[in-house]
Structure 1
């Protein structure tokens, strides 16, 4: 059929390039739309097929001023981005789909992503030995790498970026992103959804994109658009001039603080105003990357002259101006209409760190010493450690490499310079490098027991650090390049020296880690390191030299040289002019050329990996890394509606801020965990356990690893740990063992929780795991939106207490039986009654079912996004199977 908007087709480059031009609608509303909404409109026009995207959707988007927060609209991104931890379950599912359709006589090669998909192998790195990390990664993850290589050959529309090229955010930014896409003679805006919450980074280049779970990404891969409620768009007007002493990270964290306080959860943020032109492309992508920290969906920087200078793509300027996606920040007459406007003065930004347990708890560097003291004094909580006054002066001596040192509260034992996500900006890495150079030249050192590391986000970072001449000075301070991929941020920190661990335990010390990453929850870096701070790369170097967070940089020396000279931080801090000059000379000219050449060439490790040459993946039944999941073992074309939950028990009774780290840890597998018991039964030694992240292709490990965090605070138990109460027997068991017993007893399960349930990184096992444990619903005070969507995708009900209510106000002990009756037809955000205990007594409370759209309800009614998740069985011939799987409509059952 003819495209319903063919009349909007326009051309560039003497007619050789076509595009859909929304301006030809001649609708005055278009010029007032926020530019991020114009991207949604263009995609809807281009993808209008009458099924997923209809003419009514285009009209809803045009009428954004009236329809925001009301209309449900589709968005078809140009591509999907997978990182390996969340990407491997998606690819395992696709491989299992091929098996399923082959059993019904259908050609399995027909099962492929319809949307171009990039998978970056970046999350498996562990810090063992600086020069051997890549080789050890290959050995440790051989099965996974073989599977990834098979995927790159077996599936169409799948591009696998091998390990050791960079973190997913960096590779996406530097290599995969194009601002515009050219396909079959058409040009259109680049856009992306990814299985990582920091996909938002590319919004700094005018590319619309955000993070979704692995479950949702599979739907997009197979041709289904993302469904979203037409968002409110907050205009963030930047004014004022940047303080020359402020780093880009100071600007980023300052803007993050303002936006976090503005209450913009679930909204689009779009930047405008004269201050925007002062921000480099790297500054913008770093700000956009922080979206998960202030809960916006995206932070969008429209394309302007800075973007053009960065990308230098032919036709980019002509196309963007033709469809009015180019913005001049100096011309107020071009400003669109916004839902509301927030003004931020850039001149007010100062240096901060975040910690000691949460990224939102910011501390001015000038107040760091007194703030850490208050953390020692305060009762145990999000900031406090409650150390008695007499124990605060504890000093524990220990020997390391034949020399005596002393540890105290606040001593730094981990210092990691990481250049992915919020510290990908070249200016801050060069600031850290120049600081290291000046420190070495001044005679300063880092104590050798501190676990220092340098994890560049990509080879490009190493390239410009080396070209600028600062890399050797990093090395002299102990910051050796340990490889490319997620390391300290995801808990892949090498063990601390035993003498250090013993000293910490002996003195019950609040030891500290300082890293330039994006996650630092208590216990994440290392079990014995209780206080962790996020800081810019130069401050990580500074605190490593100081050896403590209990220092006032303005009044106390950073260190004393061998000849007794005191050196202060301001003595070695490089100027903004120095940084900008080096960045211009060494970074911009070589960055894309270097990475492009490395991508084309590949690497020896990856090139030498052998993989099966087959349409179907030959599963190894002995493998503990890759298993064919059971999700597609029973293909059904008709699923019954979800059943009401009768007399359920609470598997867990949780408090506020339960993160995805608590629900599905990504770090090491504890030797006494349920997952460890399973791996031991497979005759693996603890050295071979690897991490939960690396084993996400094995449902047996991941189910046992659900709620396996050592920091899980379950109110049934009263102390941290992956334990819960089996209520009928009164026994304390591992969470997995309790869930397994409940399932044998035929008892439904729910979870009770507090505020912000599911905050943190995007990962699909935070929903798959609870589902396989038998959890049918989560009742919480509030949910992180992305995790809420993942629960819906697995057929688990996200239920929210009414405003002002929670488990305590309702006097719930968590040990009651819960009954939730579902109506024959659910509506978005319908209120449901939860009956407690003996239903004849009538005790009950009301919750809101957080199905935001009709599509959410539809997914839930059919058991989630993936077919076959329910136990229903029916006969199915090969023709039905072909219709069910090959068509993207299969996600609707």
Structure 2
């Protein structure tokens, strides 16, 4: 593709010579005010200069950005054209499904199918489909890969078709690594050279943790699949010039603390400060001392603190990492020359202007975990035991045993706590929580005694609340950061040398983000120690963190379910939302890889590492965590001796070719895809059915009913789960009706290419609390098409409303749609018939995705909530004023009238969260894909 010529109103076009090569560049110093801008806004400014077309991107947009007021609230829309698109397979498959469907729709409207083609490089890494079925065995990796191919053959054949059918679309096959790690180790350019131009590497990705690449100085963030598809097809991303938080780093990480502890501290700070929708940029003297892997860890967690990005500028450390990972010298020269010429090279003595300021002295960071259900809820490890006990009040019955119960416990050989030792815990109005027992310690003072499990494979043991049943080194955040990965392996070596073992009820797993981890574990001679503790390689992919933890051993699962135990997972990930990790596990904690292994040795969250021994050595002496924790010097010397450039160049030499399994897959051919009507993985979606060349007028909403009344912090996990499919759920019943046995259900994420499964999975999370019902969790609602509004599956109720042509709305609290950038959270919402979501506030990605699917996001008036307005979800809703969009105007508010059964009504003005003219165009067209398709036809 030839780059469109910029109008170059500022005379910024110039030539940059690097060695023997010459590149067209657009110089930032041609624009007054550019040099005072933060690094991230300089990248956006270059983007506007290079893509200025006089229509969508004008000289006024350039001036608005150059004259950015750090103190202003975002109000100016600009169009950002990302240099490339990065995808993982869960979110990438629907993208390719939609592109394949668009090819047919273009043909039906008289266009050319081949016009539907990525115009920017699009790369997809298959990393979300491996499930930990087998663990703790030497053949775990091979067997899990076999299962993966067996389950996902249809999806993989479809992706191979896409790789051949579409230009500029490449697929990294399964078993290679996690998308964000492959991105920073191989795919990221830092500075791109294309069509004779050099410009900053920028990207959007179909996974919220795309921000990991911010650690390498690449501006990028997660978008919904629908936005990514539009970007692939040449559509810029519409955005407001953001506020930028300057985050100053000073000092160095102290011994005993890790990169994970730093990122959990930063997550807590930024959540408390408020970073939603803002850019975060790191600066200061401490930046130089932050290794690239740690920068990537911090960037990765940007969605957890709510910011759009969390970026580090390019410096010597960036070049060191690019060299280590095998980038050619010509690329290193280009990155250094371009960054220095454009004022994009980090200067620790220069402080750009920022909207807001935060500062962290890295020397103050302490070992931390986060949980039991949100990544921002940081807990110092020193108080983890007491914090766990307090949190347990939310998960177990809180009645204190009476005297007869105490006597019975004493008779059974259990010592009850004296009254003075039993803490009084008050949480949500419930007081006097008895102290929980511990699977590791056998403590007592609880209404029921621990459960004894007799296991043929693991022997006899007791399970109780707080038992760590999953301790997984997993997810993109940490699993290729050498400091924590080698730290974990050295801790494992020290533990084995002391004679320690992991507890028999713990499901252990090691899922590195990159094959390079295996290389440096082998070179350092550390694999045998990890395997001795059960940390065998289970796969290269995103596993436990997205719900691919696999089933617990049957005897443990039965004990947990039969006795309603509140057991725990500990994982080195970034997400620990309710219902996400495993259906049997209620409490989930994020931790560094070394702490994951420490908790596997402890076996319980009801454990104090300072005072409780992990076990005893061969001489019978107690062994504490401090006795096996490796020193920073040993970790660094192992990094220096074990990691080489050759590991990266070898592992990535032929990264798109795949193994024999991948290459031997039968692959369909042709410009358009031949849909298999029997497929339960890949089906043609209905988005373009009946679509005309011109959009129908926007209409107001009349007589809508509430599908769900939801509280605060409802995540996209709650809306569109990616975990296991329950057999008695609508999705499970659909699969069984289509001849799929329960053992072959796979996960929601793996079936995202089938809208029939995903509609039925929308709002089906087992931990969703729909406040239309009392004390009910799961995908249920009241169906007001039936007399008395009985309880019903949300999907079944939606079908009944659709049969009566009744539109639907969702009412919600604060931070609606936080978490992963799940396009299906918006697609499923739209396909269920929801036309509006009224919330107290939205997270960025989901709000824009709703508009992209033709659903209008509305906000309650400031200070108002559904409860304060007296709304209980039984009302019928009229929403008027949306039709002003037909006149080219985006209304600031619309009138909402909620009519109650007794004839009374509640009226209020809801804020319209269509924030940019571009979003208004998408909404008028019924969605972003329809807008792109119509533009393609008219062109």
Q: Report the TM-score when normalising by structure 2.
A: 0.90
Does the aligned pair in 2 maintain the 1:286–1:424 contact within 8 Å? no
- 1:587 counterpart = 2:606: no
Name the CA distance, whole Å, in 2 between partners of 1:378 and 1:78.
46
CA distance in 1 between partners of 2:905 and 2:460 (Å): 68
Distance in 1 between residues matched to 2:731 and 2:239, nearest whole Å: 37
CA gap of 1:95–1:501, structure 2 versus 1, over 3 A, is same
The equivalent of 1:805 in structure 2 is 864
Q: Return the match for 2:744 from 682, 688, 708.
A: 688
**Cα offset, 1:37, TM superposition:** 0.6
Q: How far 1:568 moved relative to its partner?
A: 0.9
1:743 to 799, 802, 818: 802
- The answer on 1:734 being equivalent to 2:797 is no
Q: Distance in 2 between matches of 1:860 and 1:604?
A: 45
- Residue in structure 2 matching 1:395, options 446, 450, 460: 450
The equivalent residue for 1:114 is 119
Partner of 2:418: none
Number of residue-to-residue matches in the alignment:
872
Query: Which residue does 1:783 correspond to in 2?
Result: 842
Seen in structure 2, the aligned counterparts of structure 1 residues 563 and 393 have a Cα distance that, compared at 3 Å, is: farther
Are the counterparts in 2 of residues 45 and 58 from structure 1 also a CA contact under 8 Å? yes
Q: How does 1:59-74 map to 2 (within 5 A)?
A: 59-65=63-69, 69-74=74-79
Structure 2 gap segments, 5+ residues each? 135-139, 324-331, 397-426, 436-444
Whether the 8 Å CA contact 1:358–1:382 is kept in 2: the answer is no
**Structure 1 residues 508 and 102, CA gap change in structure 2 (3 angstroms):** closer
Residues 1:640 and 1:39: Cα distance change in structure 2 (over 3 Å): same
Structure 1, unaligned stretches of length 5 or more? Answer: 870-880
Which residue of the other structure, out of 862, 865, 885, is the alignment partner of 2:936? 885
Deviation at 1:747, TM superposition (A): 0.9
Work out which of the residue numbers 763, 767, 773 in structure 1 matches 2:822: 763
Matching residue of 1:414: 470
Offset from partner CA, 1:643-697 (integer Å, 9 cap, x none): 1111111011111111111111111110001111111111111112111111111
Residue 145 of structure 2 is aligned to residue 88 of structure 1: no
CA displacement 1:370-390 (0-9 Å, x = unmatched) = 111222346877999996555
1-side partners of 2:6 and 2:805: how far apart?
A: 53
Deviations 1:177-214 (A, max 9, x none): 01011112221111100011100111111100001000
Aligned mates of 2:575, 2:431 — CA distance in 1: 19
Is 2:79–2:238's contact at 8 Å kept on the other side of the alignment? yes
Secondary structure at the aligned position of 1:700 is classed as helix
Distance change in 2, residues 1:555/1:631 (3 Å) = same
Q: Which residue, out of 143, 150, 157, partners 1:146?
A: 157
For the pair 1:30 / 2:34, whether they are aligned, the reply is yes
Paired position in structure 1 for 2:405: none
Q: In structure 2, do the counterparts of structure 1 residues 383 and 125 end up closer, same or farther at CA, with 3 Å as the change threshold? A: farther
Instruction: From the superposition, tell whether residues 26 and 111 of structure 1 become closer, same or farther in structure 2 (CA, over 3 Å).
Output: closer
Report the Cα distance in structure 1 between the residues aligned to 2:816 and 2:124, rounded to whole angstroms: 28
Where 1:777 maps in the other structure, the secondary structure is strand
Secondary structure, in 3 states, of the residue corresponding to 1:825?
A: helix
Deviates more, 1:509-518 or 1:94-103: 94-103
Compute the displacement of 1:633 (Å).
Answer: 3.0
CA contact (8 A) 2:748 2:758 kept: yes
Among 309, 319, 332, the alignment partner of 1:308 is 319
Show the counterpart of 1:830: 892
Q: Describe the SS at the equivalent of 2:46.
A: helix
1:395 shift after superposition: 1.6
Structure 2 distance, partners of 1:637, 1:387, is: 64
The one of 44, 56, 67 equivalent to 1:40 is 44
1:252–1:383 distance in 2 versus 1, CA, 3 Å: farther
Two-structure CA RMSD over aligned residues (Å) = 2.2
> 1:854 is matched with which residue?
917
| Aligned twin of 2:514 | 458
1:276 aligns with 2:339: no
Alignment partner of 1:504 out of 560, 564, 567: 560
1:382 and 1:173 mapped to 2: Cα distance?
44
The answer to whether the Cα contact below 8 Å between 1:419 and 1:425 also exists between their aligned partners in 2 is no
> Which whole-Å CA distance do the structure 2 matches of 1:31 and 1:44 have between them?
16
Q: Is the 8 A contact 2:511 2:537 kept in 1?
A: yes
Shift of 1:337: 1.5
Contact 1:446 1:545 in 2 (8 A): yes
Q: Which residue does 1:297 correspond to in 2?
A: 308
Shift of 1:47: 1.2
Query: Structure 1 segments of 4 or more deviating over 6 A?
Result: 379-386
CA distance in 2, matches of 1:393, 1:335: 60
- Match for residue 191 of structure 2? 180
Q: 1:13 to 1:868 in 2, by over 3 A?
A: closer
- Alpha carbons 2:899, 2:906 under 8 Å: kept: yes
Q: Is the 8 A contact 1:651 1:750 kept in 2?
A: yes
1:353 aligned onto 2:356: no
Change (3 A) 1:591 1:822: farther
What is the CA-CA distance between 1:24 and the residue it aligns to? 4.7
1:372 aligns with 2:388: yes
Q: How far apart, CA to CA, are the structure 2 residues paired with 1:535 and 1:605? A: 35
Give the Cα separation in 2 of the matches to 1:864 and 1:601. 36
- Paired position in structure 1 for 2:754: 698
